[in-house]
Structure 1
């Protein structure tokens, strides 16, 4: 009878392992890494690193200045990672700055709209009202730098909402993991991270 119980335990344990969500293998590799941005909003605490401090509430957010020809924010992960997904936690009160953001990855600092694009541009109404507070883009690439970029003019529904090209968000998670041992692998298996 003990053998049957052990066999049953092994079967149940194996089933649990097989149904574990794939994303559980990834971690936020941007946490407390070095970040920079194109400009800072006057009279606001100037810290691009607010977007990688781990705080997804509205208490620490980054802001670029308004009415710029383009604007960017970039995090240096410190080394190359397999980047599965980028998750953006937007401010909930200035939704119009969400529209038109594009996510890029690269192995060298870009700070512009080049590099490997991660999914589609974040688009919606000009006032951003139809873009979720938490938005993600899938990358599935190798990179060291993640850049958020926009040159889209947006306008909100209030008199103070016109800021042209600007970005603000409270947190960016870069979900990834260390590269597999076989570095020359064109793209590792997402579940096992093996070639």
Structure 2
């Protein structure tokens, strides 16, 4: 019985608790180690997941290291990070733009920014091991169950296809960091796909609570369930009392009430007798 109650309790939070894209928070900021032309950092967090050049942020050439940093402003319980890398045209077409610069990248989290840390000071979530001529997927969803403020995508890879251009380059079109506020029920969270609303602060997904009337109905249902549970428990307690004890209690109640009732009747009869006597009238 206790196991069933725990399953119901945890199931409730698994349904209503969620991971949301933390990049959509007003306080979240995106930073690049460098910026090429008009392909600035904000393009990696504008909600547009197209992977053609004009929708992507990317860094300049001739750098030994390139990184993109997501600053969540405070610690969050992170679940996964989804990255959309630049890729255009048909991958079988030699003139199409492919994600060869995406090889060998790594994903770290930290409580300090990328400019103040190196890889040994961070927590590693993922390392890509793709080698030439193979290509990593340009859209990749990476599990990263850590608690941190900063999410850092970094590379030192110099793609041979870039020759004679040299250096590490990142071309990230969109990044999504899914998680919830630290201290919530992280193991029961879900991605709020298609939610009407997901409260990032509380971490709860209100996909079925589209107005206050629905919320009121939910409270009423919970209240009825609570009262029913209490009544059932009281009934069970009553049923567990031996019948012999209940009989003795009833008999004791009758015996305790009998003298009281007899004394009351005697007092009443005495009063009526006094009233009817002449002695009572003399007293008045």
Shorter-normalised TM range: 0.7 to 0.9
Q: 1:57 aligns with which of 38, 42, 50?
A: 50
Counterpart of 2:68?
73
Cα distance in 1 for partners of 2:30, 2:168 equals: 20
State the number of aligned residues.
164
The reply to whether residue 103 of structure 1 matches residue 100 of structure 2 is: no
Provide TM-score, normalisation by structure 1: 0.73
Cα distance in 2 for partners of 1:105, 1:64 equals: 20
Change in CA separation of 1:55 and 1:68 when aligned onto 2, cut-off 3 Å: same
Q: 2:178 aligns with which of 175, 186, 192?
A: 175
Change in CA separation of 1:192 and 1:39 when aligned onto 2, cut-off 3 Å: closer
CA contact (8 A) 1:82 1:140 kept: yes
| Alpha-carbon displacement from aligned partner over 1:91-117 (angstroms, at most 9, x marks no partner) | 112411111111111112124434111
CA contact (8 A) 1:155 1:164 kept: no
Task: Using the TM superposition, give the Cα deviation of residue 81 of structure 1 relative to its aligned residue in structure 2, in angstroms.
Answer: 0.6
Higher relative contact order (CA 8 A, sep 6+): 1
Task: Using the TM superposition, give the Cα deviation of residue 126 of structure 1 relative to its aligned residue in structure 2, in angstroms.
Answer: 2.9
Cα distance in 2 for partners of 1:98, 1:79 equals: 28
Which structure 2 residues correspond to residues 1-195 of structure 1 after superposition, within 5 A? Answer: 25-31=18-24, 33-41=28-36, 44-58=37-51, 59-92=54-87, 93-111=97-115, 112-113=118-119, 114-119=121-126, 121-126=127-132, 129-156=134-161, 162-180=165-183, 189-191=186-188
Structure 1 regions of 5+ residues with no counterpart?
1-13, 182-187
4+ residue runs over 4 A deviation: none
Cα distance in 2 for partners of 1:124, 1:176 equals: 27
Which of 1 and 2 has greater Rg?
2
Provide TM-score, normalisation by structure 2: 0.51
Cα distance in 1 for partners of 2:173, 2:39 equals: 13
Q: Secondary structure at the match of 1:26?
A: strand
CA contact (8 A) 2:103 2:135 kept: no
Task: Using the TM superposition, give the Cα deviation of residue 189 of structure 1 relative to its aligned residue in structure 2, in angstroms.
Answer: 4.7
CA contact (8 A) 2:63 2:169 kept: yes
CA contact (8 A) 1:28 1:173 kept: yes
Higher helix share: 2
CA RMSD of aligned residues (A): 2.8
